[in-house]
Amino acid sequence: MQATESLIRSVVEQVLSEVGKIPPLKQGYDGRYGIFNDVDEAVSAATEAFEQLSRRPIADRKRAIEHIRRISIDQCVELGTMEMEETNIGRLEHKIEKLKVLGELTPGVEFLKSQVFSGDHGLCVIEHAPFGVIGAITPVTHSLPTITGNAVSMIAGGNTLVVNPHPSGKRVAVEGVRRFNKAIYQDLGIDNLICVIEEPTLDSANALFAHRGIAMICVTGGPAVARAALNSGKRAVVAGPGNPPVVVDETADLKNAARSIIRGASYDNNLLCISEKEVFVVEKVFDRMMDEMERAGAVRLNSREIDRLTQAAITQVGEGAHRHDVAAKELIGKDAAVLAEAAGRSVPKDTELLFGETDEFNPFVPVEQMMPFVPFVRVRDVDEAIEKAKYYEHGFRHTAIIHTTNVTNMTKMGRALDTTLFVKNGPCMSALGLGGEGYISFSIATPTGEGVTSPLTFTRERRCSLIDDLYILGK
Ligand code: NAD
């Protein structure tokens, strides 16, 4: 009798352990882990994955997202290092931190709160439904972090995605996507929730824009791709370029202003679209502000050094009337010490930020430089500061920052600049929940107006009305 019982137990245990090993039923593109060279194939695989996800409960979306979060957090050092080695721009510690915080703070399915109207005529429920397969274009400045944030938000909304990454960040994009899909497939049996084009080109981006199977596009990048998306004829969420100005008035806490500007403008060597790019300081506190910057650890360049750096760091593109200044690729995202060398100055290797006084016509003011040198412009008063900040923000309506304790000045600037993010008395990233309130995403939709993207950005409203019943408070 005893022998029979233990035999049964061991057979049951063996069967259970074998069941755990049974691979999920294979579908057409299973085992590709989201990696494709052909846009049509990628869209088909993402469509198949969308259909499977649509038949699953919301709890399964949450589980899929948990895998993305876990990998982003647990493997941030390995993947961040991979991104740094491939792109060769920015700072390793921040490449690592970006993956970790996106894993931790990107909002998930909890954002999908339904709205309800109830009354004499019954019940109306407004729910948030997916679009389907979303085409995503991602930048070199945050290749895998943007994919991570997009994937969490889009899958939370019930969508799947096909990503055309920046060619200079494609390897880490592919590796991250492979890891996310593999973990999700092994747990849930759905592969290809996130598809990526292994050899991305402008042609593959355009094929994605034009593809009938793509319900919506989300681009994160500079002016050219923002324009292309807006002209694509598809519903587009466009996270475009910025040139965030900072205003410092005579009432500001200058110590805090200096610390904040250094933290924001040096983060990942100023690659963030929200990073402080030029500073307007009122005459009355200008010299003190410059001293505070030095005290807080930034290195001040003199005008001759700034001229040399400008020669090296700013170049021109375009023809005829379209010719304009841009940041030189060779110096984008490089360390402050590298910029200093180009300026003819030697600074400690761990210097976070260079700065110096320029007039408003120095190209560092209008150009989105994406490197750790910030020009400081002396202005008469806060009105001139706000006027110039507005002019050099170029109407992107992206991000603006003020350091002041005068709420009237805050209000004036907020109204005048009309930006998506407006930060008072902190570094830029506090607007993304890092040291401030709110939540994070690395796709901040500016021209199309969705703001810091969330799962709701990637959903359609659907309304369900029941007439005259289920209003349980009525007669
Ligand atoms: P980029 O514009 O060079 O490239 C972005 C992506 O668009 C890449 O995948 C690139 O291959 C693709 N692309 C470029 N031109 C295209 C075109 N004509 N058609 C189709 N695809 C095209 O930008 P980048 O250097 O990778 O990233 C930096 C830029 O992105 C900055 O301007 C920055 O402000 C912006 N950005 C904005 C946000 C935001 O949330 N608003 C976030 C990150 C970066």
Find residue 228's DSSP bridge partners: none
pLDDT of residue 210: 96
Residue 395 neighbours by CB distance under 10 Å: 11
Distance 419 CA to ligand 1 centre (A): 19
Query: What's the rounded Cα separation, in Å, for the pair 211 and 38?
Result: 12
pLDDT tens string, the chain, 475 residues long: the values are: 445 666 666 665 565 554 444 445 566 899 999 999 999 999 999 999 999 999 999 999 999 999 999 999 999 999 999 999 999 999 999 999 999 999 999 999 999 999 999 999 999 999 999 999 999 999 999 999 999 999 999 999 999 999 999 999 999 999 999 999 999 999 999 999 999 999 999 999 999 999 999 999 999 999 999 999 999 999 999 999 999 999 999 999 999 999 999 999 999 999 999 999 999 999 999 999 999 999 999 999 999 999 999 999 999 999 999 999 999 999 999 999 999 999 999 999 999 999 999 999 999 999 999 999 999 999 999 999 999 999 999 999 999 999 999 999 999 999 999 999 999 999 999 999 999 999 999 999 999 999 999 999 999 999 999 999 999 997 7
Q: Which atom of ligand 1 is nearest to the CA of 206?
A: 20
Strand bridging mode 299-300 / 354-357? parallel
Find residue 465's DSSP bridge partners: 124
Three-state secondary structure readout of 238-289: EECCCCCEEEECCCCCHHHHHHHHHHHHHHHHHCCCCCCCEEEEEHHHHHHH
CB half-sphere exposure, 283, CA atoms < 13 A: 5
Query: What's the rounded Cα separation, in Å, for the pair 409 and 6?
Result: 79
CB half-sphere exposure, 243, CA atoms < 13 A: 22
Task: Give residue 450's Cα distance to chain centre.
Answer: 13
**Of 205, 213, 214, 224, whose CA–CA distance to 166 is shortest?**
205
Phi, psi of 403 (to 5 degrees): -115, 115
pLDDT of residue 20: 46
Distance 39 CA to ligand 1 centre (A): 19
Helix 143-156 to helix 170-188 angle (10° resolution) is 30
Strand bridging mode 373-379 / 421-424? unpaired
Distance 337 CA to ligand 1 centre (A): 26
**Amino acid (1-letter code) at residue 436:** G
Query: What's the rounded Cα separation, in Å, for the pair 305 and 436?
Result: 36
Number of H-type helices and E-type strands within the chain = 15, 20
Query: What's the rounded Cα separation, in Å, for the pair 396 and 153?
Result: 24
Query: What's the rounded Cα separation, in Å, for the pair 421 and 424?
Result: 10
CA distances, 295 to each of 243, 254, 271 (Å): 26, 11, 24
Distance 350 CA to ligand 1 centre (A): 28
Q: Residues 81, 84, 85, 90: is their CA dihedral positive or negative?
A: negative
Residue 308 neighbours by CB distance under 10 Å: 15
Distance 141 CA to ligand 1 centre (A): 8
**Best residue among 94, 138, 141 to mutate for probing ligand 1, ranked by most atoms within 8 Å of CB:** 141
Alpha helices in 118-277 (DSSP H): 143-156, 170-188, 202-210, 223-230, 254-266
Contact 80, 96 (CB under 8 A): yes
Which residue has its alpha carbon closest to ligand 1 atom 24?
Answer: 139
Q: H or E element: which one contains 73?
A: helix 58-74
Task: Give residue 316's Cα distance to chain centre.
Answer: 27
Q: Which atom of ligand 1 is nearest to the CA of 273?
A: 34
Query: What's the rounded Cα separation, in Å, for the pair 417 and 413?
Result: 6
